[in-house]
Structure 1
């Protein structure tokens, strides 16, 4: 009964968190933006935060007929949100090599995962939630309908389970394709680099031979060598465009949805691998699917 009630609270506050995130980002960016991680209209991190606050403040000792002081609510909610946000960001990046929020450009941030302004904002929001929202929710006559409460919890759990399964499958597919593109791009980039590296020496050799010869054939030889060098230098760019087109064509609507919700891609740093190239590839891929929407 208690677990079912808490899970229903989790769903309700996850939906409220999703509405807040989407509304805030829409006003900030001037266009509608879905900030959900899953397909459904929920942000689980908000629901988890509120449910944890309900549990903590329920068991936190307090004087009879006295509310928890504001400063204590602020400190607990701010610190708790910082831990929850950092761990969530870390786990998502480790599993999917992607980020859904980034505070790198915000002052006083830690690895771009959390920052002091956002932490203080969540602390202030926590005061409102603990003092006003949670008491109202706890006064609802949910305990009078235990069967209905458990049925709703099971239905929500079933829907969310399907949503999470589809989300994980889609993100795993995207990451796998990005890793293959990364390997292919670096392999072809290395080959292109080798061709470009030897091009100046080839031009110099042709020019030297041309100076010792006569007639218009000298000019033709130099121009031909320069053209070959330009073709070698442009092959990497053409190859990226081809891969972008193939990648975009292979994406389903579910893949496009999740690719659009990602804020950035952070591949694993490995010896001899140029991560900048795949970051650029990811950014251009997002632009391409945005144009096609």
Structure 2
């Protein structure tokens, strides 16, 4: 192992924060409003932390060969992105990104153009960003002997547990929405049964009446707003009205 455990933990935290800053700034500019990015409560994106630490380990032996670094970076980052998407879908029943509109996607989780971008990103990361981060971590270990790693584990571990609880409640709430919407649709006149546009319009017009007793929390509304492509794979009706819920809660 080219890195110690405490180094990997601090790498994970550092790049999770850098990833959060990048996504927050980029998406806020793109969407013309402030986006508090990240799946967890805190200002960090674990997917970046996990991805970068994994990349650093697997590219360590080829870091001096630009071509191999580029190719290995593509492979490792693409595999990570695929399995991260699969994990979110199977464990949390949700999708945070969808590349279905891009050529060659598999199946909406990864796409060639995105993987190519990962390759260039890995080269820039290993050659220019990592040396600066390494200097900071060497200083931290010399001064406080890896104590930062313990703080990271405690803080992010607590955050992760709280997020799991929040997302499970979110999932339950989306299913409650589906049940209420289905009840509402059953009460509509038979002539609207096959007119999906009118049914959808009727549902949107009566959101206040349909809304279940369990309200969306601040964090759940934030996730809806920050990840407009997010979908729950077993709450089809909720997926169709979530955009209106975002506007309703603004």
Range class of TM-score, shorter chain: 0.7 to 0.9
Query: Deviation string for 1:73-131 (max 9, x for gaps)?
Result: 11111111111111111211222232222222233322222222221111101001112
| Counterparts in 2 of 1:8 and 1:16: CA distance versus 1, 3 Å | same
**Aligned-partner SS, 1:250:** coil
> What's 2:30 paired with?
28
- CA distance in structure 2 between the partners assigned to 1:51 and 1:22 by the alignment: 21
Q: Distance in 2 between matches of 1:233 and 1:147?
A: 61
Q: Which range moved further: 135-144 or 105-114?
A: 135-144
Match of 1:254 in 2: 219
TM-score, structure 2 as length reference = 0.82
Please tell me whether the aligned partners of residues 28 and 34 of structure 2 are also in contact (alpha carbons under 8 angstroms). Answer: yes
Q: Give the structure 1 partner of residue 80 of structure 2.
A: 84
Contact 2:224 2:230 (8 Å CA) reproduced: no
* Matching of residue 267 in structure 1 with residue 233 in structure 2: yes
CA contact 2:74–2:119 (8 Å) conserved in 1 = yes
- Cα 1:174–1:144 change in 2 (3 A) is closer
Contact residue 10 and residue 51 of structure 1 kept, 8 A: yes
Note the alpha carbon deviations across 1:136-160, whole angstroms, 9 max, x for none.
4334572884682432111111111
Unaligned ranges ≥5, structure 2: 194-198
Aligned to 1:204: none
CA deviation after TM superposition for structure 1 residue 56, in Å? 1.7
Partner of 1:242: 209
Q: Give, in whole Å, the separation in 1 of the partners of 2:207 and 2:129.
A: 51
Q: How does 1:64-79 map to 2 (within 5 A)?
A: 68-79=64-75
Cα distance 1:259–1:171, how it changes in 2: closer, same or farther (>3 A)? farther
SS in structure 2 of the partner of residue 109 of structure 1: coil
Is 2:82–2:109's contact at 8 Å kept on the other side of the alignment?
yes
Give the deviation of 1:36 after TM superposition: 1.1
1:115 aligns with 2:115: no
Runs of at least 5 residues in structure 1 that lack an aligned partner in the other structure:
200-231, 270-274
Residues 11-59 of structure 1: CA deviation (Å, up to 9, x unaligned)? 011111112222222332233322211121111111112211221233x
Aligned-CA RMSD value: 3.1
Which of 87, 97, 107 pairs up with 1:101?
A: 97
- Residue of structure 1 equivalent to 2:180: 184
**Cα-to-partner distance string for 1:238-287 (whole Å, 9 max, x where unaligned):** 6544123x56x723323322333333223328xxxxx3x33223232222
CA distance in 2, matches of 1:105, 1:114: 11
Alignment pair present for 1:135 and 2:101? no
Q: Distance in 2 between matches of 1:129 and 1:236?
A: 48
Tell me which structure has the larger Cα radius of gyration.
1
